[in-house]
Structure 1
């Protein structure tokens, strides 16, 4: 083993545990989630005096007022807010929690690993569709919504990973995702990039994804398989296979698993259509938005 147990001093442990428990209790209670998030962010940023003074009518600069208003999730927009096919009711619930997740990572406490891991694990239980026990989610992890993510037990997600859940993202037990990896659940049409398809992307138990790897939308990575660093996985990886490269190909079976693994030539098969998620858009012309506004019909 290459790690050892580390603990905080008793007083720091007691204080930080009390804070995590307090936020957890408030998010679980009857308080408005938006108000809880605003309140927590004010204190996390040490801005209580300035915030209360402004709320009581004190004159502040435009820049300071913008900063103070930014603690309230009602006053912010997220990229995923523009996605027309999203579940509006689910997004209304997950938006303030996602804002707390993102803004927490901008505070000094986010670098206190022992505390930050427990804070994110607590928040994951409120934000994600499912969140198992023993989660270890590090700094800079981003997601589309959060409410379409399912995590098993003892999942590890390292720094700066992107968990796209525009479709649905499912990670089994003991999955490990290395730094800067990207896991996708949506894809764009080659001709018309405004046309989006959503999928279920599945990583089964004990999967490992290497640094800077990309898992394409709709892929299934089988149990105990490994996607190597910087690989681009565009088709399924069978259980116990090691896949590397661009596009990723199965190059070996993990030693000791040869008797139960599929042959290497079974790797890379495209079964994405089996995991497509259909949706209907119900928009009037005033709601439609195309940032490109260009002709997309081929000449022939």
Structure 2
């Protein structure tokens, strides 16, 4: 498919005419960052790796840049890569995943351009969630003192929640239904239903005026939070607090 989309010829012909170009299209000849992670399931990643490589490279072609063709192709690929994907998933070009197989996506979810979805610890995007351009959503953290000490935490984005331009969500955060994270904000906690969080770090400064529903699908006040799983067997214990306020214990 890549040979036809990028060079207008069959792979065998491209291999004979321009072998370096052809070999670069084969996922067996490349490595992903995830292949260096201890937390990556090698068997699961081997299954999705060619599809992620196809997704990434098609985005560089007219097929991927044209929403009429690119969005349906990504929707098909998501069905074979993600743990779950709902109806009418709309993903624009140049979106990156850590492993892909830990993505859970509901109905009518929209992900815009140049988004990083670090799903190594799991990401949920509930029905109607919207992720704007250049957003980063993480599901792993590193110890302050020991970089190889990695903790995985599932990050949850509720129904109808909006994560806006250039904002960042750290691992384990829960964004409730109908909540919003403002432009350039950094979330390292939760947002309650209908809340609007702004700033660095993000804090809830407003609430949308909505009628209260009978029940929420995701309410950060009651939703189960991921306690965390350690990715590196050299650091099996929970990571203790490793920082202090300036002035405390200074020599």
TM-score by length of 1: 0.71
Over 3 Å counting, the alpha-carbon distance change for 1:279 and 1:191 in structure 2 is: closer
- 1:121 aligned residue: 75
Higher helix share: 1
> Equivalent residues in 2 for 1:236-247 (5 A)?
236-247=190-201
Deviation at 1:203, TM superposition (A): 0.6
Q: Is the 8 A contact 1:164 1:183 kept in 2?
A: yes
SS in 1 for 2:119: coil
Unaligned runs of 5+ in 2: 235-250
> Equivalent residues in 2 for 1:224-263 (5 A)?
224-257=178-211
Deviation at 1:257, TM superposition (A): 4.5
- 1:277 aligned residue: 229
- 1:43 aligned residue: 4
C-alpha distance in 1, partners of 2:147/2:27? 29
SS in 1 for 2:133: coil
Deviation at 1:47, TM superposition (A): 4.4
Q: Is the 8 A contact 1:218 1:272 kept in 2?
A: no
- 1:216 aligned residue: 170
Deviation at 1:150, TM superposition (A): 0.4
Unaligned runs of 5+ in 1: 1-39, 262-266, 283-299
- 1:141 aligned residue: 95
Q: Is the 8 A contact 2:24 2:30 kept in 1?
A: yes
Over 3 Å counting, the alpha-carbon distance change for 1:152 and 1:200 in structure 2 is: same
Deviation at 1:197, TM superposition (A): 1.0
Q: Compare relative contact order (CA 8 Å, sep 6+) and give the higher one, 1 or 2.
A: 2
> Equivalent residues in 2 for 1:1-300 (5 A)?
40-48=1-9, 51-53=11-13, 55=15, 58=16, 64-257=18-211, 274-279=226-231, 281=233
Deviation at 1:220, TM superposition (A): 0.5
- Structure with greater Cα Rg: 1
Q: Is the 8 A contact 2:120 2:140 kept in 1?
A: yes
- Number of residue pairs aligned between Structure 1 and Structure 2: 231
Over 3 Å counting, the alpha-carbon distance change for 1:185 and 1:272 in structure 2 is: farther
Over 3 Å counting, the alpha-carbon distance change for 1:258 and 1:272 in structure 2 is: closer
Over 3 Å counting, the alpha-carbon distance change for 1:117 and 1:251 in structure 2 is: same
Deviation at 1:219, TM superposition (A): 0.3
Cα deviation code 1:274-298 (max 9, x no counterpart): 441344649xxxxxxxxxxxxxxxx
Over 3 Å counting, the alpha-carbon distance change for 1:66 and 1:195 in structure 2 is: farther
Over 3 Å counting, the alpha-carbon distance change for 1:242 and 1:104 in structure 2 is: same
Deviation at 1:169, TM superposition (A): 0.5
Deviation at 1:52, TM superposition (A): 2.6
TM-score by length of 2: 0.84
C-alpha distance in 1, partners of 2:23/2:38? 26
- 1:4 aligned residue: none
Deviation at 1:260, TM superposition (A): 8.4
